[in-house]
Structure formats: structure tokens, C-alpha cells
Structure 1
Amino acid sequence: MARLERALALFMVVAWRIARLMRLGRTCPDLDAGLLFERDEWRAAFNLDKKKPPKTSPRLNEVVRLVAMLGCFLARKGDGEPGVKTIWQGLQRVVDFAAGLRYARELDD
């Protein structure tokens, strides 16, 4: 039972982060993405989308949409804003890629 409680606690933290990204991406789109994403994470989102990452932290809405597009959000004109599922799926890819960037950087040192 204790293992289940630990797993649920971890899942709740992940779900909270995803819901927070979705809500703030909609209500505060001009917020600095560096407040909610690590530098490697937002740079990974740009790299995975084959875009050159900016020198400074981009807007939150831009990064949330990039992350959601990695989770199969199509971002068409009438699609509205990304939801929890597409952000969750895209965030999995971004976090894995960001970890790879960190490991590659450590190998260079």
C-alpha cells in the first residue's frame, strides 16, 4: 500500500504541473517561459520542433504550444488551445530530450 501511495503522490505532482502549464498558458500567455520551464526544457522543445532556440527565454504560450505540438496538437486555426493530454504527451518527449542534453553536456566536460 505504501508503494501505491508514493506512486500516487508522484503522479499528483506531475498532473499538477501539467494542469498549471495548461492554465497559465491560456491566462498569462506573455509570461516568461523560464519561470515554469528549465532552460534545457524550453530549448529542447525548440530543437525537437527543428527551430533555432532564442537566446533569451521565450513567451510561455509559445513553449506550451510547441510542447503540445510534440504531443500531436495540430495547432490549426480553429483548434483552440492545447489540452492536458497533448501537453502531457509532449512534455514526456521534452523532458527526455532535455535529460539527453544534460548528459551530453556532462560527457563534454
Structure 2
Amino acid sequence: MRTAERLVNLIAVFCIVSWRVFWMTMLNRSSPNAVPQTALTGPEIRLLDHLVKDKGGDCSRRSTLSHYVVKIARLGGYLARAHDPPPGNTVIWRGLSRLTDIELRAAIKATIMGN
């Protein structure tokens, strides 16, 4: 960060990422039954379905935003026990960071393998 312009660009990126984390956390609390495509892309949903296995047999929640936010939070260390509060910004941040790393790895692998 040798120039002020670079620092401004970094802060702008951090603002966008932190907005998405906060937005997903609050969206999960205000309208948990929304469709997951409201906040997630198709590849993110497919990766979450592949990476994080469902707990229990509750198939009715499988297509809700809340279900996928909990999956992201579980990637970030959230335990999802019966009496735990809803996931917060920290575990959502960690989970999204990990999901992004996995998504980039999958894209690079597809490019190298030619799929």
C-alpha cells in the first residue's frame, strides 16, 4: 500500500465484501424462507450441496436461503446445534472466504482438465 489510491481501492473492495456478509446475515434473519438465488449464485449453491452434507432429515427447508446460509456458516466453523443462535457475521465471513477459495480451485481445475 505505497499510495493512497491503492489504499482507497483496497478499502472499496473490503466495503463490498463486508456489505455482502452483513446483507446475507440480516437477510437470513428477516426472511429465512427466501429462495437461495436471492443471495447466492448457481455455482455457489451446487458447491455447497456437494461440500456440506445436510443434517437431519428436514427436506422442507432444503430450498430456502436459511438452509444455505447455515451451510456457509458451517464452512466457517458454526456448529449448528439445536439451541445455537443464528449464525453471525464472523462465521459467515469465514465461510464465504472458504467457499470462494474452493470455487476458485474448482474453476482452475476445470480449466486445467479441460472440462
Q: TM-score, normalised by structure 1?
A: 0.85
> Do the aligned partners of 1:29 and 1:59 also contact (CA within 8 Å) in 2?
yes
State the identity %. 30
Amino acid corresponding to residue 89 of structure 2 in structure 1: V
In the alignment, structure 1 segments of 5+ residues that lack a partner are 52-56
Residue from 65, 82, 85 that aligns with 1:80: 85
Please point out which of 90, 101, 107 is paired with 1:102: 107
**Post-superposition offset of 1:50:** 4.0
In our comparison, the structure showing a higher alpha carbon Rg is 2
**What is the alpha-carbon root mean square deviation over aligned residues?**
1.7
- Structure 2 unaligned residues grouped into runs of 5+: 55-61
1:2 to 2, 5, 13: 5
User: Which of 64, 67, 70 in structure 2 is aligned with 1:59?
Assistant: 64
1:3 is paired with a residue whose SS is helix
Q: What TM-score do you get using the length of structure 2 for normalisation?
A: 0.81
Q: Which stretches of structure 1, 4 residues or more, deviate above 2 A after TM superposition?
A: 99-109
Structure 2 letter corresponding to 1:99: L
